[in-house]
Chains A and B, each alone.
Chain A
Amino acid sequence: MHEWALAESIIRAAEEYASRNGLQRISLLRVYLGELQAIDHEILGFALDNLRREAGVAIDRIEIVEEEAVFRCNRCGYEWRLSDTDLPEEAREAIHFVPEAVHAYMACPRCGSRDYVVVSGRGVRIEVDLEG
């Protein structure tokens, strides 16, 4: 599963951050999941729970937050949500692996431009809190 690779990258990033800053523990690791990448919340949570045990830094708590995918057209300024569109299954699957592939499958609903920004909800990013 691709979710395992992402979970691994989240743990690696936390470890790297901790070692760079000389930290033994992270009180809260918040993981944002962008709707566009459609990461399976449960599988990712399970994978993270498994991997954190062998992590090189103690992570007290992991919190997963889902983010809605929003786009803004660079040409006409129109803003829309992923939920306003109707992407075929094949496209969804490709985008799951590489969110930028969305530009190959979706255009601005107003002007047809393929030059748009993913304003939020692209993929995975994490926030580290040391106090909690």
Chain B
Amino acid sequence: MSWALTVIDPRWAMARERLRGVGRVFFVESSKGGVGKTVFSALLALVLAEKGVRVGLFDADFTNPGLHTVLGVEPVLEAIGEDKGVLPVEAGGVLFMSIAFYTGGRPLGLRGYEASSALVELLAVTRWGGIDALVVDTPPGIGDEHMDLHWLRPDTRVIAVSTPSRLAVESLIRLIEYLGSQGIRVAAVAENMSDKPSLRPLAEDRGIEYIGPLPYDPGLEQALGSPAGLRSTKPYRVLRRLVDRGLDTLGWWR
């Protein structure tokens, strides 16, 4: 029998293996832009770090990364350590990796397949080192990055972020339905920039845990760039209280 040569992209196997080494993976998603995914991802990671959870934070928004600004990490290549792979950067007790280290914050326009390729490349070489949890901030929409991430780690817990705006809520429902149709359950809905639990019924009717309401804090803008500053914002304090009480989505951390 004659076997044809088989061409393999070796990065997928490695990315899967590295993600297997992480206790739990949380994807922060929303189809709607600007609802607070990036801020929420950072706050969640900072809360978990404060609880003593070894936590990583990964910016999967390749064309528009923002977490380095939230955490106050300079996006320069020199920040990255190397040891049989690349090592994430520590900020506020959180281990952080982003494409911004490689672009130096320059604009980057990518076709979908390239974003996908960059994503798997970075996941294949980043050594998180036995962390308990990895929080992944994703770009708005349902695109290549989301699909790749779900296939790389099918047991990922999705946290869908939304504001109470009808525009955001419509796309939240679409996201829940889309993921559901693909066999992916949304673990939690986080209601951001809101004073009332208006999304609670929507979430709980679908058997989804409700996280919120996380209030709008005009002081958050000032706190951007400082983990300590972020830890004194209102949404941080609310989220920490919710985690203290216990969130099923997070598991035993409280």
Q: B-contacting residues of A (Cβ < 8 Å)?
A: 1-2, 4-6, 8-10, 12-17, 30, 90, 93-95, 97-101, 103-105, 114-115, 122-131
Contact = CB atoms under 8 A, between A and B. Distances in A.
Contacts of A101: 99, 102-103, 108, 118
Q: Which of A4, A103, A124 has the most CB of B within 10 A?
A: A103
B2 interface: yes
B85 interface: yes
B10 to A, nearest CB: 4
B109 interface: yes
Nearest to B125: A5
Q: Which of B17, B115, B122 has the most CB of A within 10 A?
A: B17
Q: Is chain A's interface secondary structure helix, strand, loop, or mixed overall?
A: helix
Nearest to A30: B5
Contacts of B189: none
Contacts of A131: 2-3
Interface residues of B, number: 41
A10 B14 CA distance: 8
B12 A13 contact: yes
Nearest to B115: A100
Q: Which of A1, A5, A14 has the most CB of B within 10 A?
A: A5
Given A8-B84, A103-B110, 11 more contacts: A1-B83, A6-B10, A13-B13, A90-B104, A98-B118, A100-B117, A101-B102, A104-B102, A105-B106, A115-B109, A125-B10
B90 interface: no
- Closest 10 A/B residue pairs (Cβ): A9-B14, A13-B10, A5-B85, A100-B118, A4-B84, A104-B103, A104-B106, A94-B102, A13-B13, A12-B13
